[in-house]
Chains A and B, each alone.
Chain A
């Protein structure tokens, strides 16, 4: 690791991260990378990626713990991408044995495998040297509280939740998970073009933690269901007692639901429901290239025959002007694990209803735009809101539905982002400014774009439950989302499940 990387302090690591039994420290990663590269025999270019992860889980159902685990593993990937100047596909050998014999065997296996398929290679010529890894400043995503939540402590959390639920004569199921991970990669590709030790696609030493807790409470007759959950890199930010109380309240209030006719209703979506609904929209913001050619992107506008190119909806109003979606990686609630050559600063995706940014690749920025960065789609995001409380939204509603959350949200049409999914864990009818009864669940068929264009009122944005995307190595992907009230939300059929 270069002195510059150490001095920059971009990847804060607490002392706990050096625990050799759970995740690899910076020094250990560097040592493994150096040993692996030392075994490479030349004649090719080798990339080594070392990752380590730890995961502690506790799962329970019907008020009884069914799983408590504490797992960890290390993964060493050895890849050969270029042999004698000729490109090959990413041929990868993976091992979790870190003794010299095993590492050498992995390197040899990668060398052997890489010779089996080689594409023509023609050299690079006198190509300008490549840039060094640009600094990326993100809020910390490491928490000692998360890393130190032992199996005993996790069991104690579950015990207190179950006790509170049992005291109400109810049943609970839940999942508590804590993770930690570290990763680092280094390759020998293009030694003639490197300005520094790290190429910009190398991953410097990175560490992160993540915690999530979700609680479902049911009544013994199976007619009521409540749910509450939260995820954060920091366990201290998850209040298990408050979540338990909320899940119990929702369960009790959702008992004995009545069936309503499907149709268009005014809805009050709690923050979690908003996050569930707009997830497809958030994901679609990541591909500017798709939006600038005919296809299925919701952000493709059409051809500009005068200029002979295709236009996206960038610069046009796409949702209600009270809505902005942005991400500031230095926001303590929105820290993420950076990827190489990433745009280092804050990004506003939708600014007061106007689409202002779409994610793009490095090549796009160099060729078409004004910089030389990658802009990933919004991994973490904050959606702007208003100051209306949910109680005020209810009070101002003559007839409508209050939605706790959605599940199984799937896209039906890419261009319009029309989605379908189910309401879950609490749906209530509002009549004349008051919640009057619990309602059976619905299937909805609606587009988040339509909903965000039919907004009446917005609440205060709050952190919502957004689990990691990768089973072991995914870093935090936090979201801060408001509740909202929208008109004419389309429910298309009844669902019996609670």
Chain B
């Protein structure tokens, strides 16, 4: 002990010299999972999930980046799990590695674990045992087992990376989805299923797999499955259709439910595989061709103003355009007109569309309309030749500021606010006519602005959705409209707008 005396002296000197050294520094706790104590396959699932979560958290501490602060990238959904998670699956799953010794009834939990460990052969062998056993039980059992296997291989069971439990099954989801294994099992066993309802459901899972969120992963699979689905559905009796609708959606009395579901999941997939490209090709040729093709593809969309001249924008205050503010949209340029409202009070904490608002308390104050503003910034950065005009109107306040507010002041505050997020665009602000409800109500009632009236086309004149954007070609014809937001898991909002802008800019460049 005497030999260590110098150590305590040194420590006391060091600690005394630095007050910080005496404090308890926070470090992220060691989240490593000791899988040696885990004995069941469910515990192994939990271990892998925990390691994955830990890796994601450490990512924040290493890089200061949270995935959920970035726009959703569908590619994330099809990336392999982190190596640390695979290692956890291997070490925990070692006790289950003898696939022949495992009861076939455990296949649904074992298959995701094997795939997480990278043991695809073991998963394949266990699935084959299960399918063969199901085939011996009868066609119904075979169809049910095939349905489950397709869902498992497609990553549509278990707990996804974003923490949701899918399809009611706990545990790991298969990530990335195993296209090859799905094809293999479907090719082998689907021909043995004669039940047409079962076949439709399994084929629809194929379409879902091919169109993973906003990503088009496998157009060949859609082209293979979609016609079969439509043929099978056409062959069903009304009773069978009703039954299929119920099985797909739960109890429903809506006779059109099946058609709606097919539209969402099959027609849209086919469209994304082929129609979309035709539409873009036509736009590259001319707006007139595009409008013709659009009306052919969507005959019911009669109120869409595509192909109509974009109304000229009016404003009382123009900023960011020097002496060339009107006419606008600027002739000869591809334009994006964005209707933006800075009075939207953010009431729901997770509604990231709502902008600026009023800071009413000290919580939740930093999450203000990132979807809209950051999407706008990405577009402005990506397409410097795109002429972006933000159409705004006065509300009588900005943030909490109300006193002595003028249209000029409101416009300037809005411009500064947008520029602080890197958004540089022309801003046109119209002074709003308003009146107040009489008596004790006193609420401010805004009249529609000229721009809102002109851009409402045949719809009701009034505020547009916040971030509603109209894409206009170089001849001033309306081509597309959407609410500005990043891609979601269900729809490629931003990607589709980008495709349209690229097509128009290509066309415009070729003309010059």
**B-chain residues with CB within 8 Å of residue A362 when the two chains form the complex:** 358, 360, 400
Name the segment of B207-215, B362-370, B490-498 touching the other chain: B362-370
Is A120 within 8 A of B345, CB to CB?
Answer: no
Q: Please give the distance in Å from A304's CB to the nearest CB on chain B.
A: 9
Is B367 within 8 A of A312, CB to CB?
Answer: no
Q: Please give the distance in Å from B452's CB to the nearest CB on chain A.
A: 13
Interface of B is mostly: loop
CA distance A388 to B422 in the complex (A): 70
Interface string of A104-120 (1 = CB under 8 A from B): 10001001100100111
A125 interface residue per 8 A CB criterion: yes
Within 8 A of B (CB), among A124-145: 124-128, 130-131
A174 interface residue per 8 A CB criterion: no
Is B367 within 8 A of A121, CB to CB?
Answer: yes
Within 8 A of B (CB), among A204-253: none
Is A122 within 8 A of B366, CB to CB?
Answer: yes
Interface string of B442-465 (1 = CB under 8 A from A): 111100000000000000001000
Is B367 within 8 A of A367, CB to CB?
Answer: no
Interface string of A341-375 (1 = CB under 8 A from B): 00000000000001111000111101111111000
**B-chain residues with CB within 8 Å of residue A9 when the two chains form the complex:** none
**A-chain residues with CB within 8 Å of residue B367 when the two chains form the complex:** 87, 119-122
CA distance A89 to B23 in the complex (A): 26
Checking A124, A187, A354, A364 against B366 with a beta-carbon cut-off of 8 angstroms, the contacting residue is A124
Q: Please give the distance in Å from B485's CB to the nearest CB on chain A.
A: 14
The count of chain B contact residues (Cβ–Cβ below 8 Å) is 55
For B369, the closest partner residue in chain A by CB is A122
Within 8 A of A (CB), among B318-369: 343, 345, 347, 349, 352, 356-368
Interface string of B58-71 (1 = CB under 8 A from A): 00100010101100
A90 interface residue per 8 A CB criterion: yes
Is B26 within 8 A of A112, CB to CB?
Answer: yes
Interface of A is mostly: loop
For B423, the closest partner residue in chain A by CB is A125
Q: Please give the distance in Å from B442's CB to the nearest CB on chain A.
A: 6
- What range describes how many residues of A lie at the interface? 35 or more
Contacts A128-B398, A128-B401, A363-B357 given; does A356 touch B365 at CB 8 Å: no
Is B397 within 8 A of A308, CB to CB?
Answer: no
Is B362 within 8 A of A314, CB to CB?
Answer: no
Contacts A122-B69, A370-B442 given; does A86 touch B366 at CB 8 Å: yes
Is B69 within 8 A of A366, CB to CB?
Answer: no
Name the segment of B35-43, B235-243, B411-419 touching the other chain: B411-419
Q: Please give the distance in Å from B447's CB to the nearest CB on chain A.
A: 11
For B343, the closest partner residue in chain A by CB is A367
A85 interface residue per 8 A CB criterion: yes
Is B419 within 8 A of A126, CB to CB?
Answer: yes
Checking B24, B362, B398, B419 against A81 with a beta-carbon cut-off of 8 angstroms, the contacting residue is B362
For A187, the closest partner residue in chain B by CB is B362
Contacts A190-B365, A314-B439 given; does A104 touch B23 at CB 8 Å: yes
**A-chain residues with CB within 8 Å of residue B45 when the two chains form the complex:** none
Is A128 within 8 A of B399, CB to CB?
Answer: yes
Interface string of B297-313 (1 = CB under 8 A from A): 00000000000000000
A189 interface residue per 8 A CB criterion: yes
B263 interface residue per 8 A CB criterion: no
Checking B24, B370, B399, B402 against A127 with a beta-carbon cut-off of 8 angstroms, the contacting residue is B399
For B67, the closest partner residue in chain A by CB is A120
Is B365 within 8 A of A124, CB to CB?
Answer: yes
B441 interface residue per 8 A CB criterion: yes
**B-chain residues with CB within 8 Å of residue A323 when the two chains form the complex:** none
CA distance A207 to B393 in the complex (A): 45
Checking A89, A128, A369 against B444 with a beta-carbon cut-off of 8 angstroms, the contacting residue is A369
Checking A118, A119, A190, A363 against B360 with a beta-carbon cut-off of 8 angstroms, the contacting residue is A363
Is A131 within 8 A of B400, CB to CB?
Answer: yes
Is B442 within 8 A of A369, CB to CB?
Answer: yes
Q: Please give the distance in Å from A108's CB to the nearest CB on chain B.
A: 6
For B403, the closest partner residue in chain A by CB is A372
Is A199 within 8 A of B362, CB to CB?
Answer: yes
Contacts A112-B26, A122-B374 given; does A367 touch B397 at CB 8 Å: yes
A7 interface residue per 8 A CB criterion: no
B224 interface residue per 8 A CB criterion: no
Q: Please give the distance in Å from B50's CB to the nearest CB on chain A.
A: 14
A315 interface residue per 8 A CB criterion: yes
For A105, the closest partner residue in chain B by CB is B24
**B-chain residues with CB within 8 Å of residue A122 when the two chains form the complex:** 69, 366-368, 370, 373-374
Binding site for B on A (CB under 8 A): 41, 47, 81-82, 84-87, 89-90, 104, 108, 111-112, 115, 118-128, 130-131, 187, 189-190, 193, 199, 201, 307-309, 311-312, 314-315, 354-357, 361-364, 366-372
Top 8 A-B residue pairs of the complex, sorted by shortest distance between their CB atoms: A315-B439, A126-B420, A122-B370, A125-B420, A120-B69, A121-B366, A126-B416, A314-B440
A-B contact pairs, 14 of them (CB 8 A): A47-B362, A85-B366, A108-B26, A122-B374, A123-B421, A125-B420, A127-B359, A128-B398, A128-B399, A187-B362, A315-B441, A366-B345, A366-B397, A372-B402
